[in-house]
Amino acid sequence: MTTSIAFVFPGQGSQALGMLAEHAAANPLIQQTFAEASEVLGFDLWSVSQNDEAKLNQTDTTQPAILTASIALWRVWQAQSGAQPAQVAGHSLGEYSALVAAGALPFAEAVRLVQRRGQLMQQAVPAGQGGMAAILGLEDDDVRAACAEAAQGAVVAPVNFNAPGQVVIAGAAEAVARAVEACKARGAKRAMPLPVSVPSHCALMQPAAEQFAADLAAASWAMPNMPLVQNVSATVAGDIAALRMALVSQLYSPVRWVESVQALAAGGAEHVVECGPGKVLSGLNKRCVKGLNTYNTDTPDAFAATLAALAAL
């Protein structure tokens, strides 16, 4: 374990058709991990991730697919004796990958949980009734004020504080559309609707959270074997009950990513590795904490470069 290293795991939106294909050609651990997940899910997750974009983008498939891709890369890292992190975190869904990596949750249970999580989220708000939008170039308080002005009795709120000047809002579709215009009027550089079917992390997800609490309670838990910074609090839970409670709240509460990365840095992290498909978090992380060294594992070349860079520490 190297105290200056943290691993972070991506959330929904990092999926891409054909993800990890290059990795799979070079390492059988990738498809072995997908085969384990497929057994839990009852369908061939690897085939979907390579060939069926429509199904891959359905939230109850997307969530296990990103979890599985992230844990596959984590296993390859372990198999290659990569430098070990002292802390972990995950963005939204990615928190479940972090829980598996930290030994808090068995992989098969995590696959089951995130599929269920996706199903409940989709059921909570019928398609077309919810929306999300990305707001760029406004202060957090301005986004909050725009949402308050646009609500008019409906739900709309900031839900992802991803980086300074980059906030995602979510809620009822018409309220989100009004908030987009209110943010533009306040001087946002860009305010654009996102192509999603579920308004994540807002109050509309509370019914899903109430149902999901029972699934979380029934799972097999252990305390993480390293500090795990959670989205809801941007802190490390002190016990399993608090850990689970934060996962319930996470469904309808904002992702405090800026504060989470700052917490990792305060805990000693100088090198943060994005372990999973894509490199969305790597771009955000360096904006959250100036001077942070960021790495990704998306391709075999990027993985090898990260392995070599951290071995030299």
Query: Does the annotation count 201 as an active-site position?
Result: yes
For residue 195 the two structure tokens come to: 């192509």
Please provide the DSSP assignment of 209-258 as one string: HHHHHHHHHHS-----SS-EE-TTTSSB-SSHHHHHHHHHHHTTS-B-HH
Q: Tell me how many helices (H) and strands (E) the chain has.
A: 14, 9
Instruction: Give every CB contact of residue 119 below 8 A, 6+ residues apart in sequence.
Output: 60
Catalytic residue among 23, 91, 201, 271: 201
For residue 228 the two structure tokens come to: 């795990």
Query: Does the annotation count 92 as an active-site position?
Result: yes
Please provide the DSSP assignment of 108-133 as one string: HHHHHHHHHHHHHHHHHS-TTSEEEE
Q: Report which of 59, 250, 67 is spatially closest to residue 160, judged by C-alpha positions.
A: 250
SS3 21: helix
Catalytic residue among 14, 38, 70, 92: 92
Catalytic residue set: 92, 201
